[in-house]
A = this chain, B = another copy of it.
Amino acid sequence: MSADLLLPLTRIEGRQLQTSACKEAKFSYRSQLRYVRRLVVKLGSAVITREDERGIALGRLASIVEQVAECQLEGRECILVSSGAVTFGKQKLTEEYMKSLSMRETLSPDNKRENAVTLLEARAAAAIGQSGLMSLYEAMFAQYGVKVAQVLVTELDFHNEETRQNLFSTLSELISLNVVPIINTNDAVTPPTTYAYDQTPGKKKIIAIKDNDSLAAMLAAEIQADFLILMSDVDGIYTAPPSQEGAKLLWTFTSGMQDEIRFGPKSTKGTGGMNSKVTSALYAMDHDVSVVICNGNQDKAVKHILAGRKVGTFFTKEAIPQTSPVEILADNARNGCRILQSLLPEDRANAINRLADLLVNKQSEILKANSLDLYEAKQNGLAKPLLSRLSLTSAKLSSLSTGLKQIAETSHTNVGRVLRNTKLADDLYLRQITVPIGVLLVIFESRPDCLPQVASLALSSANGLLLKGGKEATNSNKILMTMVKEALDSIGAADAIELVSTREEISDLLQLEKHIDLIIPRGSSELVRSIQEQSQHIPVLGHAEGVCHVYVDKEADLQKAIKIVRDSKCDYPAACNAMETLLIHDDLLNGSFFNDICSMLKKEGVHIYSGPRLSEKLTFGPPLAKKLKHEYGALECTVELVANTKEAIEHINTYGSSHTDVIVTENSEKAKQFQRDVDSACVFHNASSRFADGYRFGLGAEVGISTSRIHARGPVGVEGLLTTKWILFGDGHAASDFAEGGGSKFVHQQLPLNES
Chain B min CB distance to A654 (Å): 8
A566 at interface (Cβ–Cβ under 8 A)? yes
Question: Do the beta carbons of B91 and A341 come within 8 Å of each other?
Answer: no
Chain B residue at minimum C-beta to C-beta distance from A144: B55
Q: Which residue of B lies closest to A733 (CB)?
A: B687
Q: Is the CB of A734 within 8 A of B571?
A: yes
The answer to whether B539 and A726 touch across the interface, beta carbons within 8 angstroms, is no
Please give the distance in Å from A600's CB to the nearest CB on chain B: 13
In the bound complex, how far is the Cα of B733 from the Cα of A21, in angstroms? 65
Contact with B along A203-215 (1 / 0, CB 8 A): 0000000000000
B-chain residues with CB within 8 Å of residue A92 when the two chains form the complex: 142
Contacts of A424 on B, CB cut-off 8 Å?
691, 696-698
Q: How far does the Cβ of A384 sit from chain B's closest Cβ, in whole Å?
A: 21
Interchain CB contact under 8 A, B709 and A713: no
Report the Cα distance A88→B628, complex, angstroms. Answer: 43
- In whole angstroms, how far apart are the Cα atoms of A629 and B627 in the complex? 52
Bound: A726/B732 CA distance, A: 44
Q: Tell which of B50, B140, B725 touches A681, judged by Cβ atoms closer than 8 Å.
A: B725
In whole Å, how far is A709's beta carbon from the nearest beta carbon of chain B?
Answer: 5
- In the assembled complex, the Cα of A342 lies from the Cα of B63 at a distance in Å of 55
- Do the beta carbons of B725 and A682 come within 8 Å of each other? yes
* Contact flags A654-688 to B (C-beta < 8 A → 1, else 0): 00000000000000000100011101111111111
- B56 with A66: CB separation less than 8 A: no
CB-based contact A690/B727 at 8 Å: no
Tell me which of A158-166, A445-453, A556-564 binds B.
A556-564
Indicate if the CB atoms of A735 and B539 lie closer than 8 Å. no
Q: Which residues of A are at the interface with B, using a C-beta cutoff of 8 A?
A: 50, 54-56, 58-59, 61-63, 65-66, 88, 91-92, 94-95, 113, 132, 135-136, 139-140, 142-145, 245, 338, 341-342, 422, 424, 428, 430, 432, 437-438, 517-518, 536-537, 539, 557, 559-560, 563-564, 566-567, 571, 627-629, 671, 675-677, 679-688, 690-693, 696-698, 709-711, 713-715, 723-736, 738, 746, 748, 750
A–B complex contacts, Cβ < 8 Å, 24 sampled: A55-B142, A58-B65, A59-B62, A61-B62, A342-B676, A424-B696, A424-B697, A430-B697, A430-B698, A438-B679, A438-B709, A518-B710, A536-B537, A539-B710, A564-B732, A567-B734, A567-B735, A671-B729, A681-B725, A686-B733, A690-B734, A691-B728, A691-B730, A710-B710
Shortest Cβ-Cβ A-B pairs, 8 listed: A687-B730, A560-B732, A567-B734, A58-B62, A698-B748, A55-B143, A690-B735, A710-B711
